[in-house]
Structure 1
Amino acid sequence: MVTLGKRLRRWLAFAGLTALLVMTGCSREQIPVLNPQGPVAQKQYDLIMWSIALMTIVIVAVFALFTYVLIKYRAKPENEGYNPPDQHGSRLLETIWTLIPVIIVIALAIPTVKVTYDLEKPPSQHKEPVTIKVTSANWKWIFRYPEEGISTVNYVNIPADVPVKFELDAVGPMNSFWVPELGGQEYTMPDMEMAMWLEADKPGTYTGRSASYSGEHFTHMTFNVNAQSEKDYEKWVNKVKKTAPKQSEAEFRKLLEPGRVPEMTFSSYPKNADEIEVEKNREDGLDRYENRQGGHHEHQEHTGHMNHEGHQSH
């Protein structure tokens, strides 16, 4: 049996969502983050709706009190020259308006902490997960499947209704991996492995993107997540192993260089791919350091030359 409190929360969340959609002129399906297609996204969606419900309560209460005060204490002919009496503090009222924000923060904090910890675990813990390594590079996404030994670029295939652990890192600038219909975003960082769990409820194609500015072509850092039935996923893996070209170390190194590329598929990737990425990041870091130091030395030499000339003229 649905309690009055639950009905009220649902109505408020619905009212807030409706207002949001009306203001944006979009349907729920047109806003990916409000169209969850997996258990991770569903938990985050529920948290968003709960937050909207609480904020709706606050907005309604504030506007109701505002309207009441405007009407009750508006200027009227019979009140002309009225001087209100001195008022002392009310402990009851002060307690109420102090407790209300505390209650709201607690009501937001408890489910937020719970969901945050839940997202650190596989969405479906009774199913064997799939691991996929993700590397963001300027300006492309590289996906490696350690269990299958294959690799794709700018698209990724996953089995539907199976938890997928994405192990994230970056070559070059920090970036952000985001598939709105399947879950929230997670950062990719050089030489630091991050992880996130995602799962698709059913087969379908979901758009992923970079959620962080990373240079000239970051807007083109989009990719498709193709969720397939487990049978179709296995067929695809076997087909890639038999028909796709192997990826040489030279090709992998070239892929890490800045530039845009189309979707690509490989039946293998270098066994030392992780070491190559670390080496590339260190080379880039050293180049940036040397460039800064070079500029600093040039400034010193130029300053020293001017001082020397000034000394001679003197």
Structure 2
Amino acid sequence: MKNDITRKLLTALSACAALLLGGCDNLTLLNPKGQIGVDEKSIIITATVLMLLVVVPVIIMTFAFAWKYRASNKQAKFDPKWSHSTKIEMVVWLVPCAIIAVLAVITWNTSHSLDPYRPLDSDVKPVRIEAVAMDWKWLFIYPDLHIATVNQIAVPVDTPINFQITSDSVMNSFFIPQLGSQVYAMAGMETKLHLIANHVGTYDGISANFSGDGFSDMKFTTLAKSGSDFEAWVKQVKAAPAQLDTAAYKALAKPSHSNPVTFYSSVDPQLYHDILTQYRDGGAGADTAMKMKAPDTEKQAQSGAHMAMNMNVAMRSSTKE
């Protein structure tokens, strides 16, 4: 009877393990394709193992104690006046303290070595990309190549990527799981991120912060290519008929769902700066912001001022009466 129960339990555990491991191909964080992602994977595994040093023994002891001190076990020692054990106290306190100390050292070191703002050491000139979170799509500007794309970027392998990230709408989050590190994108502010792709392939990019109705469709692809293939991709973008000036950006800025990949053969060199500064009082992009928004915004503001004045006059008149 006991053998049957044990066999069924092992079968159930094996089935559960198969189900859990069956989705490992989709665990992109554990399948990194860039050095930053590899380092972050190492941190995840190390932290998990250290925590399991506490969790696993506790689980085992829970079942062991329940079995040993069950009511039917007459050989278990009964000591109702027991209140202290130096050995147990040492294990309970010293082991967690040692784990926390190790984690503290790892956290301190990796917080500096994996700082998103820290440029990567390389003899290769990095590729600069200005990323803008929009409703609900991603705009990518290559300032050195004078091109722009929507919902797709391409980079040469083994070449550092220097991202400058902002938002034209609500707060968002930029994340390419297989390359590592996610950072927030906020209107009127710029964050930086340095990544590298060490393997040729196509990697999914996502918005990792809820930003409204089209959030689930706010995805992009990252194409890691060889040097020659990257140059061919740049030529393809430069051959596109569309150009990204203020008027084109105004049309692009309108909310959209599942926006298709779009190429722009040229881009206004001041566009990213204007997007970044458009919400700053007296900022350089203040005038451009008025142009990029709805054309009747200024008229609406003036109309609102007149309505406020009329309401004040009416309130004064009613007070006198």
Instruction: Identify the TM-score tier after normalising by the shorter chain.
Output: 0.7 to 0.9
Q: Which residue of 2 aligns with 1:181?
A: 178
Task: Return the alpha-carbon distance in structure 2 between the equivalents of residues 205 and 281 of structure 1.
Answer: 35
Residue number among 30, 34, 41 corresponding to 1:38 in the alignment: 34
Gaps of 5+ in 1: 1-17
- Quote the residue 1:151 is aligned against: 148
CA contact 1:161–1:201 (8 Å) conserved in 2 = yes
Q: Secondary structure at the match of 2:132?
A: strand
Aligned to 2:267: 269
Q: Kindly tell me: are residues 23 and 266 of structure 1, through their superposed partners in 2, closer, same or farther at Cα, counting changes over 3 Å?
A: same
Correspondence for 1:99 among 94, 97, 110:
94
Matches within 5 A, 1:77-226: 78=74, 84-120=79-115, 121-226=118-223
C-alpha deviations, 1:258-310, integer Å up to 9, x for none? 2243211112111221343146546699x8xx99xx8xx99xx8xx99xx89x
When residues 172 and 93 of structure 1 are mapped into structure 2, their CA distance, relative to the original with a 3 A threshold, is same
Equivalent residue for 1:6?
none
Range 178-187 or range 114-123, more displaced? 114-123
* Per-residue CA distance 1:9-35 (angstroms, 9 max, x = gap): xxxxxxxxx999745453422221221
Kindly state the Cα deviation for residue 97 of structure 1 after the two structures are TM-superposed. Answer: 1.0
Corresponding residue pairs, total: 280
Do 2:189 and 2:276's aligned partners in 1 also have CA atoms closer than 8 Å? no
Distance in structure 2 (CA, Å) of the matches to 1:171 and 1:24: 40
Inter-partner Cα distance in structure 2 for 1:22 and 1:177: 33
**Aligned equivalent of 2:235:** 238
Task: Tell me how far 1:77 sits from its aligned partner.
Answer: 6.7
Q: Is the 8 A contact 1:249 1:269 kept in 2?
A: no
Per the alignment, in what secondary structure is the counterpart of residue 211 of structure 2?
Answer: coil
Measured after TM superposition, the shift of residue 107 of structure 1 is: 2.4
Q: Contact 2:188–2:277 at 8 Å: present in 1 too?
A: no
Separation in 2, partners of 1:243, 1:52 = 48
**Alpha-carbon separation, structure 1, partners of 2:134 and 2:102:** 40
RMSD: 3.3
Taking the aligned partners of 1:78 and 1:242, their CA distance within structure 2 comes to 85
Give me the whole-angstrom Cα distance separating, in 2, the residues matched to 1:22 and 1:32.
18
For residues 109-129 of structure 1, give each alpha carbon's deviation from its aligned partner in whole angstroms, at most 9, with x where no partner exists: 322332232222344433322
Q: TM-score, normalised by structure 1?
A: 0.77
d(CA) in 1 for partners of 2:147, 2:89:
64
Query: Who is 1:76 aligned against?
Result: 72
Residue 74 of structure 1: how far off its partner (Å):
1.9
Determine helix, strand or coil for the equivalent of 2:33: coil
Please give the per-residue CA displacement for 1:103-161, whole angstroms capped at 9, x wherever unaligned: 12222232233223222234443332211110001111000111111111111111111
The CA deviation at 1:93 is: 2.8
Asked whether the equivalents of residues 165 and 190 of structure 2 are also in contact (C-alpha less than 8 Å), the reply is yes
Q: d(CA) in 2 for partners of 1:123 and 1:62?
A: 41
Question: C-alpha displacement at 1:85, in angstroms?
Answer: 4.7
Does the residue aligned with 1:114 lie in a helix, a strand or coil? Answer: helix
- What are the Cα deviations for residues 232-275 of structure 1, in whole angstroms up to 9, with x where unaligned? 21232234334443222210122223224321111211122134
In structure 1, distance between residues paired with 2:44 and 2:203: 20
